Structure 1
Amino acid sequence: EIEFAPGVEAPVKSISLRLPREMLNELKVLANKKDIPYQSLIKVYLAEKIKEERMAD
């Protein structure tokens, strides 16, 4: 684990997320087609949705 200076937050935060098995399997298939890790694909999808929501406000 990387240690940061006191008062400096790590740039990312690890979380636990429960997904339906079928959804996870589909994400893995899609990620495999794009040749990226499925966690990275989830981050891309979340970033796109956040951007969409911000634009709608």
Structure 2
Amino acid sequence: MKKIPEFANEDDERRFWQAHDSVEYMDWSEAETVILPELKPSTKSISLRLPESMLEQLKLLAHKRDVPYQSLVKMFLAERLQSELRSTQG
């Protein structure tokens, strides 16, 4: 196995792993599956302009489902993204 070099920062490490195969540096046969239940994906705030009527409809649906309207928007987007990705892969 090759020795993993020291990295000055995460960007350097990211560039290294993009250009190198980890099989040359790690014995994956001894790897174990790890579950990280508390790990949450990083998020980024965005500004989104919606017609007021659409926002009111979203809030009404969210209230009926007992979820915050922003969470409902994320659920709708996630469902549509998965649908679109499936249709483009076929």
Q: Please state which band the TM-score falls in when normalised by the shorter chain.
A: 0.7 to 0.9
- Between the aligned residues of both structures, percent identity stands at 52
Q: CA RMSD in A?
A: 1.5
Q: 2:76 aligns with which of 42, 45, 50?
A: 45
Q: What is the TM-score of this pair, normalised by structure 2?
A: 0.53
Larger Cα Rg: Structure 1 or Structure 2? 2
CA apart distance, 1:36: 0.2
After superposing on structure 2, the runs of 4+ consecutive aligned residues of structure 1 that deviate more than 4 Å are none
What are structure 1's unaligned runs of at least 5 residues? Answer: 1-5
Task: State the match for 2:52 in structure 1.
Answer: 21
Structure 2: segments with no counterpart, 5+ residues = 1-8, 11-40
Counting matched residue pairs gives: 50
**Alpha-carbon distance, 1:55 to partner:** 0.5
